[in-house]
A and B are shown apart, each in its own frame.
Chain A
Amino acid sequence: MIPALVVFGYLAIVLYIGIFAVRRHEQTSAEGYFLAGRSLGQSVFLLSLFGTNMTAFTILGSAGHAFANGIVTFGLMASSSALIIPVTLHLIGTRMWALGKKYGFITPVQMFRDRWECGHIGTFIFALQAALLVPYVIIAVMGGGTTLSAVSGGLIPYWFGGAIVAIVVMSYVFFGGMRGTAWVNTFQTVLFLSFGAAALILIGASIGGYSQAVESLLAAPATAPLLTRERFSPWFFFSYTFIPLSTIVFPHINIFCLTAKRLSQFKKTVIFYPWCLLAIWLPCVFLGVAANAMHDVPGIESKLAARATLATEAGSLDPTEAARLQQAAAGDDVIIHMLGHYAPFGLAGLLGAGILAAVMASDSQILALSTMFTEDVFAFYEGKARFGERVQVQTGRIFVVLITTVSYVIALRAPPGIFNLATQYAFSGYSALFPLLIGALFWKGSTKWGAFAVALWTAATVAGVAILQAVVSPPPPGTVVPIWSIGGTDVIVRAAGGTDVFGLMPVVPMTIVSAVLMVVVSWLTKKPSETTLGRYFSH
């Protein structure tokens, strides 16, 4: 119960920062509420941007993925993100900031509408972005439920934990807007950046160092591959480098780029982003792998037993039992079990708060959805002109309540596996939208029809992958179900972890075809006026 109390104390601090600490700032104008008046300082900008991009999936999902797949997790997501995200911030984030300052844009869709002289195509892009962002919010609510339930030793049920997280996040987003969210994210980022090292040291001290654990993993044929990448094809590993392209396209990141006071505030973010990733991912991935050697932790032992049963009796299990075992073997909470077993009581709570900090990064997504709705729909369709800016901000607040409630209800029914849920839908979809930003910012020849083709293709493929994975059950690990073959060559297969296209993740063909569509359709269609192009390409 003590760890749960520490977590509740943490939640109270977050509420205070998000609601009361920002009261003195103006929150009635759209720029004041949605963009913190474009006035965030350097440190808040770096820490909050990083925190905004770290969700439940960072700590819980990464450790869970490493528990099942090994050290490959770090290369798949962390080190590739360390390269791609700063580069995109440098090239695209800075340009979005400048356009926002020059022309008053608050959302990316506003820029697309202006750049390509379009209206309803912008609305379609808004709808698609919003649909892809909701899973991200759901992940956070699920992570909140998982964390609170685990930290309280099951005293707080999953549904109640999720509800508490949802209400806290909703409250400070509702009252504090972007400024409250940015300050809470800064506090949370500091907390969970120190979390990784603290967890690594505490658990290491309790088990007498990690050498013995790693050697025992290497000695067992079942676990030795977790310390290499032999179970993964280099092509699959390569295809994961397309996933971080999604980051700059995520509306909450893109909109956040507009909050910087000066362009120079991007500099430290670009340089230190890789260090922040290292600080949080390396300990989480390593601990997730090391958990396989911790048979004395009851929660982990039952997961290992479920995994062993799945591996040996996969063919003879009925689907219900297989699903139950897959759920039992899921490793999203291994790090919490380790802390509960090895870390002292109060400290486990503090570390649980660290996890919750990452979980609650959904605040930015909720705010981004609200910003997009009020700017791209309410204001665009004359709501602002008819009712004024104050009503626009109030509408944004109501939207915050609505989207949080809907996400919570969906989270109660969503299947387990935080990592896969995030990767397969939201990340892949946003990566496929990446050519939109490149076309808008760097290519004069891009047109609204090119943009529409990209958005339509992304919507179709995300829906296609989702339907395919819902219809075709995942096969046992190590086997695949061919979906489409040509001349004996498998084109699309259903694997245990998702869907593969020519051995690559779907994100690769999705993004490449998006880029091709942008080029081909733009070539064939009418360009925007010279006046518009002059405003974007005067340099």
Chain B
Amino acid sequence: MNLLNPFNLLNPLTPLNPLNAFLNRRSFLNPAAECDKQHGIFRAPRMLKLLLALLVAVLYVLHQDVWLWDDARPLVCGFLPIGLFYHAIYTIAVSGVMWLMVRYAWPAHLEREVEARDRSVVSDRSREPSPPERGEGRVRG
């Protein structure tokens, strides 16, 4: 790994990433937490998944912005009511949290299960005798 490359700091798998530094510290507490470099994913510890769930819950609560309920001003950029601006920023913040969920709580095991099943189906087929030609063996009434 090139330590001088600033992009390594953004790589979710590198220990230089500040978030991963935290996550790696968590991994001492939870042996299930590890970087799965073979599949290019980070297996999140249970604590992190709970944290992400909590973050989603907080976003759900923040959607109910009663503190801006009766206010139109300030007008952002001179024309955008503050309530509308808040929800536009909120939408962008949601995208950020979704990025975290994709990076750190992705259900990659589902794809591995599908691949494993595909492999077993292929190997089962390879053990079977070759299928008949099209039309051959079809029962005619």
Q: How far is the CA of A213 from the CA of B80 in the complex (A)?
A: 11
- Among the listed B60, B73, B90, B114, which residue makes an inter-chain contact with A263, where contact means beta carbons less than 8 Å apart? B114
Q: Mark A84-95, 1 if CB is under 8 A from B, else 0.
A: 001100100011
Interface flag for A511 (CB, 8 Å)? no
Q: A516: shortest Cβ distance to chain B, in Å?
A: 21
Known A237-B64, A277-B91: A211·B98 in contact at CB below 8 Å: no
A-B contact pairs, 28 of them (CB 8 A): A74-B87, A74-B88, A75-B65, A75-B83, A78-B87, A79-B63, A79-B88, A83-B56, A87-B101, A90-B107, A98-B110, A101-B118, A214-B81, A218-B72, A227-B72, A227-B81, A227-B83, A228-B69, A228-B71, A237-B64, A262-B111, A263-B108, A263-B110, A267-B102, A271-B98, A273-B98, A275-B95, A278-B88
- Among the listed B78, B80, B84, B110, which residue makes an inter-chain contact with A94, where contact means beta carbons less than 8 Å apart? B110
- Residues of chain B lying within 8 A (CB to CB) of residue A174: none
**How many A-B Cβ pairs are below 8 Å?**
130
Q: A88: shortest Cβ distance to chain B, in Å?
A: 11
- Residues of chain B lying within 8 A (CB to CB) of residue A237: 64
Q: Mark B104-129, 1 if CB is under 8 A from A, else 0.
A: 01111111011001100000000000
Interface flag for A33 (CB, 8 Å)? no
B92–A274 contact, CB under 8 A? yes
- Residues of chain A lying within 8 A (CB to CB) of residue B28: none
A79–B107 contact, CB under 8 A? no
Q: A87: shortest Cβ distance to chain B, in Å?
A: 6
Known A238-B64, A263-B114: A282·B88 in contact at CB below 8 Å: yes
- Among the listed A72, A210, A213, A234, which residue makes an inter-chain contact with B64, where contact means beta carbons less than 8 Å apart? A234
B101–A270 contact, CB under 8 A? yes
Interface flag for B99 (CB, 8 Å)? yes
Contacts A75-B63, A79-B91, A234-B66 given; 18 further ones with Cβ under 8 A?
A: A71-B81, A74-B88, A75-B65, A79-B87, A82-B94, A83-B63, A87-B98, A97-B110, A98-B113, A101-B114, A102-B113, A211-B79, A227-B72, A227-B83, A229-B83, A230-B69, A234-B64, A275-B95
Interface flag for A286 (CB, 8 Å)? yes
Pick from A98, A237, A275 the residue with the most CB of B within 10 Å.
A98
A286–B84 contact, CB under 8 A? yes
- Residues of chain B lying within 8 A (CB to CB) of residue A228: 69-72, 81, 83
Interface flag for A241 (CB, 8 Å)? yes
Q: How far is the CA of A483 from the CA of B72 in the complex (A)?
A: 35
Interface flag for A264 (CB, 8 Å)? yes
- Among the listed B59, B75, B99, B106, which residue makes an inter-chain contact with A214, where contact means beta carbons less than 8 Å apart? B75
Q: A65: shortest Cβ distance to chain B, in Å?
A: 14
- Among the listed A102, A229, A264, which residue makes an inter-chain contact with B69, where contact means beta carbons less than 8 Å apart? A229
The residue in chain B whose Cβ has the minimal distance to the Cβ of A538 is B113
Q: Is the interface of A mostly helix, strand, loop or mixed?
A: helix
The residue in chain A whose Cβ has the minimal distance to the Cβ of B118 is A101
A272–B95 contact, CB under 8 A? yes
Q: How far is the CA of A71 from the CA of B68 in the complex (A)?
A: 12
Pick from A83, A262, A538 the residue with the most CB of B within 10 Å.
A83
10 pairs of A and B residues whose beta carbons are closest in the complex = A227-B72, A98-B110, A210-B79, A263-B111, A79-B87, A274-B95, A227-B81, A82-B91, A71-B84, A211-B78
B residues adjacent to A (C-beta < 8 A): 56, 59-60, 63-66, 69-73, 75, 78-81, 83-84, 87-88, 90-92, 94-95, 98-99, 101-102, 105-111, 113-114, 117-118
- Residues of chain B lying within 8 A (CB to CB) of residue A102: 113-114, 117
- Residues of chain B lying within 8 A (CB to CB) of residue A72: 83
- Residues of chain B lying within 8 A (CB to CB) of residue A224: 72
A264–B70 contact, CB under 8 A? no
A267–B106 contact, CB under 8 A? yes
Q: A127: shortest Cβ distance to chain B, in Å?
A: 30
Q: B94: shortest Cβ distance to chain A, in Å?
A: 5
Q: How far is the CA of A78 from the CA of B105 in the complex (A)?
A: 25
The residue in chain A whose Cβ has the minimal distance to the Cβ of B117 is A102
- Residues of chain B lying within 8 A (CB to CB) of residue A267: 102, 106
Q: A440: shortest Cβ distance to chain B, in Å?
A: 15
- Residues of chain B lying within 8 A (CB to CB) of residue A213: 79
B80–A286 contact, CB under 8 A? yes
Q: A232: shortest Cβ distance to chain B, in Å?
A: 9
Interface flag for A386 (CB, 8 Å)? no
Known A83-B56, A218-B72: A90·B81 in contact at CB below 8 Å: no
B98–A539 contact, CB under 8 A? no
B78–A87 contact, CB under 8 A? no
B111–A86 contact, CB under 8 A? no
B60–A83 contact, CB under 8 A? yes
- Residues of chain A lying within 8 A (CB to CB) of residue B92: 274-275, 278
Q: How far is the CA of A264 from the CA of B117 in the complex (A)?
A: 18
- Residues of chain A lying within 8 A (CB to CB) of residue B56: 83, 87
Known A80-B63, A83-B59, A241-B60: A274·B91 in contact at CB below 8 Å: yes
- Interface hits, A69-123 → B, CB 8 Å: 71-72, 74-75, 78-80, 82-83, 86-87, 90, 94-95, 97-98, 101-102
Q: B66: shortest Cβ distance to chain A, in Å?
A: 5
Q: B29: shortest Cβ distance to chain A, in Å?
A: 23
- Residues of chain A lying within 8 A (CB to CB) of residue B66: 234
Q: How far is the CA of A90 from the CA of B103 in the complex (A)?
A: 12
- Residues of chain A lying within 8 A (CB to CB) of residue B106: 267
- Residues of chain A lying within 8 A (CB to CB) of residue B80: 286
- Residues of chain A lying within 8 A (CB to CB) of residue B69: 228-230, 234
- Residues of chain B lying within 8 A (CB to CB) of residue A98: 110-111, 113-114
- Residues of chain A lying within 8 A (CB to CB) of residue B110: 94-95, 97-98, 263
Q: How far is the CA of A80 from the CA of B80 in the complex (A)?
A: 19
